[in-house]
A and B are shown apart, each in its own frame.
Chain A
Amino acid sequence: MAEVIVPVGPQHPALKEPVNFKVVADGETIVRLELDVSYNHRGIEKAAESRDFVRVVPLLERVCGICSHSHTTVFTKGIEEAMKLTIPPRAQYIRTIVAELERMHSHLLWLGVAAHEVGFNTLFMWTWRDREAVQDMLEEMTGNRVNYGTNEVGGVRRDLTPEQIQAALKRLPKLEERLAKYAEMVNAEETMLLRFKGVGHLTKEQALQLGAVGPTARASGVDYDIRRDDPYIAYADIPWKVITDTHGDVYGRTLVRVGELQQSLEMIRYCLQNLPAGPIRTAPPRAAPRAEILTRYEAPRGELVHFIRTNNTDKVERLDIRTPTLANWTSVAVSLVNQNLADIPVIVAAIDPCLSCTSRITVVNPKGRHVGEMTWDELSEHGREFYRRRGRR
């Protein structure tokens, strides 16, 4: 059968940022993938060069609304390194608490999206309901549900009151119970096992070769986590362990993320109970001395890198941002090959892309001059139907 090109993008009905990819398919089987990820280009790196260290933090927070704390933490960490500032331990713990809450909300969001893509909408509703508990904690602590505005160069902007700590601790047992339920479901729920196992496989060698990061790499057996390998803020003081898995498929990535959710909850509990006393910020100098800093951070999706060059002024001379999704896209291109067209939604969702796709898919068959249109919903629906017809493997 002739190869067919299926363009997907750049508008997506339900989720996230726009991206366009062309899937070359032979019948139901995927042959190749071509990507265009530039729809959301706003020019943030250039704008960062013209704003001082106070005004650049809110801008960087809006690189991505889901991992907003990641971008500000990695940036302030880098600038503080350039200024040779030591951050008070209380500020470091508060940054850690918000960082782990962010990881929890992001992973719960992902679990729901992955479940939605395979047609398991009950789980989508469940995880997003439980995610509200995390959102409530974030709102109580930082004042906003999404862009928290917690960080500034030199520390954090808001202290935690004992009442806030007690309220947050009270929410944790219920959440813990739900996470245990999800951990159990991942191994027992047939819908998920059928659609996740053996789908989007990525070997350890491929993961290393393509530079995959975060849960995508850890699910392929790559034991790599910046929080342990290059500890920052309070991670060196907290008891926790890196979750890895050797399945390498969507099932493995689900196991890693659910495991990380449970680890994050323990870390938050530890930090809340052992929050050191003291100030929450130090006064930073206005300008940073000439320096070149490469600063790394384990965002929910993987290793986030900022390269910062400062030049004796109160602005950065150059800022370069490498997001984890960019590192993981090539692994999607590889793990889609020889998979079914029906599995595109779940494989793409499995790296938790911080980019969005489309609502409109045009199916073009150059030989038969046949042009049809599919929405992303219809593609998801096609996926569900395909597996329903096919029954159990």
Chain B
Amino acid sequence: MNLSQRLVNWARVKSPWITLFNSGACNGCDIEVIDALTPRFDIERFGILAQGSPRHADILIVTGPVTAKQASRLKRIYEQMPEPKYVIAMGACGATGGVFRGLYHVVDGVENVIPVDAFVAGCPPRPDEIINGVVACLGLLKEDLAHGGKEWRRKKEPAPPPAPAAKPVEVHA
């Protein structure tokens, strides 16, 4: 690893930039994420900056159960982010669809659309839990740097019984 790469890695761990995507949430998670930026919680203490554009972001925070209309947008936003990229799914909705699970216009969780690295529990999670989630993501980032990628976290064997098939994602133009 040459010097410039080491410098980039050091900076990445010390100052990750996050971007927020609302995939059909109730706003509860969103205002708590904004709350994390403001004086009481002050996420900038960790060098974490909120960025508007996914092209500048290292960590994508996704709120909501992902509506069918937003699924293709979420995928595109994710594809715009530069590697290495991390995804945090917020709250009960982001994990399983939460209270909206099974509704006709909902794909039940972020993981059905893009790979997720961390889940933060709660409805909505408190700002301190969100900060904890981002910091946990940084730990993951450090380990990935040591392993040279995300591959080491993938399960070696294909999971024995196939999980119940996820609802097909209807993509609306």
Contacts and interface: CB of A to CB of B under 8 A. Distances in A.
Contacts of A354: 27
Contacts of B9: none
B106 interface: yes
Contacts of B34: 14-15, 128
A374 to B, nearest CB: 10
Given A18-B22, A359-B19, A377-B53, A129 B40 contact: yes
Interface string B90-108: 0000000011100111100
Given A59-B99, A129-B40, A147 B124 contact: yes
Q: Which of B19, B50, B73, B104 has the most CB of A within 10 A?
A: B73
Contact of B31 (A47, A146, A359): A146
Contacts of A17: 22, 24-25, 27, 30
Contacts of A10: 70, 73
B115 interface: no
A123 to B, nearest CB: 12
B29 interface: yes
Q: Name which of A10, A17, A59, A375 has the most chain B CB atoms within 10 A of its CB.
A: A17
Contact of B22 (A12, A47, A68, A128): A12
Given A39-B70, A43-B104, A146-B31, A65 B25 contact: yes
Pick the most buried of B25, B30, B31, B124: most chain A CB atoms within 10 A of its CB.
Answer: B31
**Interface range, B side:** 35 or more
A42 B21 contact: no
Interface string B41-65: 0000000001111100000000011
B38 A125 contact: yes
A13 B126 contact: no
Q: Which of B27, B30, B123, B124 has the most CB of A within 10 A?
A: B27
B67 A41 contact: yes
Contacts of B35: 128, 132, 135
- Size class of A's contact patch? 35 or more
B104 A13 contact: no
A241 B58 CA distance: 49
A172 interface: no
Interface string A49-68: 00000000011001111101
Interface in B141-170: none
Given A11-B22, A44-B103, 14 more contacts: A14-B34, A16-B22, A38-B69, A40-B24, A40-B67, A42-B67, A43-B106, A46-B104, A47-B100, A62-B100, A65-B28, A125-B39, A375-B52, A378-B52
Interface of B: 19-22, 24-32, 34-35, 38-40, 50-54, 64-65, 67, 69-70, 73, 77, 98-100, 103-106, 123-124, 126
Interface of A: 10-18, 38-44, 46-47, 58-59, 62-66, 68, 109, 112, 124-125, 128-129, 132, 135, 145-147, 354, 356, 359-360, 375-378
8 smallest beta-carbon distances between A and B, as pairs? A65-B28, A13-B52, A128-B38, A377-B52, A65-B27, A65-B26, A146-B28, A43-B103
